[in-house]
Amino acid sequence: MPWAISEPAIEDLTREALKLLSFELKDLYALLGCQLLAAAPPTRVAHMLVSLIDPRKAEAPGDEWILRGEKIRDDLQCDGARFVDSIKEDLRKSLCTKDILDLTGDVDESKMQILIMLVSAILKIPPQLEPISATLAAMFCKSMLREVCP
């Protein structure tokens, strides 16, 4: 049986997105950047991993290892921000209504589910990659949608 990425259940995505609300927006950008690594060239991912776990660099001073980790986090945040910038117009056209903006305040399970499904539909995200929609929905609730909407 070939390996396949399973489709996550909307209930699981909703629970995950609600947990993400405890993270800062900048950290969610980095998380989004991590999720986007699945579509990145393999060498980009390899360079990130090697810079952290290469045994030849294992003896590097702690400060150097921390700096390499911070550089990777910053790169991932930039990747997430670039992705959001690339979809801003689609988001503006579809999500910048009072009803949708109201969903991002006082978020509960039902509202989060609606946001996740809207994002997936707007961006035409395949079911196997819907965790990206959960991350974006959490980001919207953390003020990103209000920044996107004029």
Residue-range domain boundaries for the chain: 10-148
CB 83 within 8 A of CB 32: yes
Q: Round to whole Å and give the CA distance between 112 and 48.
A: 32
* Cα dihedral 77, 82, 85, 86 in deg (nearest 10): -140
Q: pLDDT tens-digit profile of 40-53? A: 889 988 888 887 77
For residue 31, the surrounding DSSP H or E stretch is: helix 25-36
**Which residues are CB-neighbours of 101 under 8 A, at least 6 positions away?**
95, 145, 146, 149
| Residue 69 in tokens | 């980790």
Query: In angstroms, rounded to a whole number, what is the distance separating the alpha carbons of residues 93 and 100?
Result: 12
| Interval 105-110 mean pLDDT | 90
> Is the separation of the CB atoms in 125 and 87 below 8 Å?
no
DSSP state of 108: -
pLDDT at 58 over 70: no
pLDDT band of residue 1 (cuts 50, 70, 90) is very low
- Token duo for residue 76: 């991932």
Q: Return d(Cα 31, Cα 20) in angstroms, integer.
A: 10
Angle ∠(74,75,81) on CA atoms, nearest 5: 90
3-state class (DSSP) for residue 78: helix
User: pTM here?
Assistant: 0.86
